[in-house]
Amino acid sequence: MLTSLSEIPSRKSSGLPLAVLTAYDYPTSRLLDEAGVDLILVGDSLGMVVLGLPDTTGVTMEMMLHHTAAVRRGVKRAPVIADLPFHSYDTPEQALANARRLMDAGADAVKLEGGRAFIPQVCAIIASSIPFVGHIGMLPQSVREEGGYKKKGKTPEQIEGLIADAVALDQAGATAIVLESIVQDVAAQITEKIRASTIGIGAGSGTDGQVLVTHDLIGSFPWFRPPFAKARSDVARSISTAVHEWLAEVRAP
């Protein structure tokens, strides 16, 4: 299991996949860290699975700082990656200032969504010695513009664009790149082509690692689960059962 971001390149060459999960609070991050997860992501998915927002576009820097600090308190070993939320990196200056705030709140690296269009922002972050993780493919922060969550890498233009984005982020110095909802063969092709480690979600098994939203893994958000995420627990049912048992006991005559 990883203890530092500097170990990521050797994991790519060793072929042992990186196992990455999201956390947004102290107990979850502590449990994941103690269980041996390689990297913990304070994803802006927290807007949906913790705060009940319809998508991630309503997540603010204040929310990310609050949850990153809680996660930091729970983690002793695993490097923590924090998301830059929607419109927090419109310019290189803004991206750097907000990346610094996330690092001050306890992140070890920051992530933003996008490829070639954001290279000035990525370079500003990396030039200030802040480790950076990219995110390409289906971009949840663009859901409104795109009119839904759509798989990427289905047309020659999309494939060319994804490869160009991955290469640009790699050359800018990204430590890793999340490949979200990308056709399996295309994700594998990108993984072969770049030095940075790829971390897939809904992108097949040909990446250097896998990331999941923990709520999908443990079944604690039963109202929606993406088809590629297999729930290995039913926390929603456990909560419901415990509450019903307690209600019956309290209300027993």
- Residues binding ligand KIV (CB under 6 A): 22, 41, 43-45, 83, 135, 178, 180, 201, 211, 213
Smallest separation, CB 202 to ligand KIV (Å): 9
Rounded to the nearest whole angstrom, what is the least distance from the CB of residue 240 to ligand KIV in the complex? 25
Q: 180 vs 208, which CB is nearer to ligand KIV?
A: 180
Q: Is 113 a catalytic residue?
A: no
Dig out the tokens for 251 from the structure: 């209300």
CA-nearest of 87, 94, 47 to 66 is: 47
Distance (Å, rounded) from C-alpha 49 to C-alpha 222? 10
Q: How far is CA 25 from CA 34, 63, 140, 183, 185, in A?
A: 14, 12, 21, 32, 35
Cβ 41 to ligand KIV shortest distance, Å: 6
User: Pick the catalytic residue: 62, 113, 145, 180?
Assistant: 180
**DSSP designation for 182:** B
CB of 103 to ligand KIV, least distance (A): 18
What is d(CA 178, CA 199) in angstroms, rounded to the nearest whole number?
A: 5
CA atoms lying within 13 Å on the CB side of residue 152: 28
Which lies closer to ligand KIV via its Cβ, residue 163 or residue 177? 177
Task: Quickly list H helices, 105-220.
Answer: 119-127, 143-146, 156-172, 184-193, 214-218
Catalytic residue IDs? 180
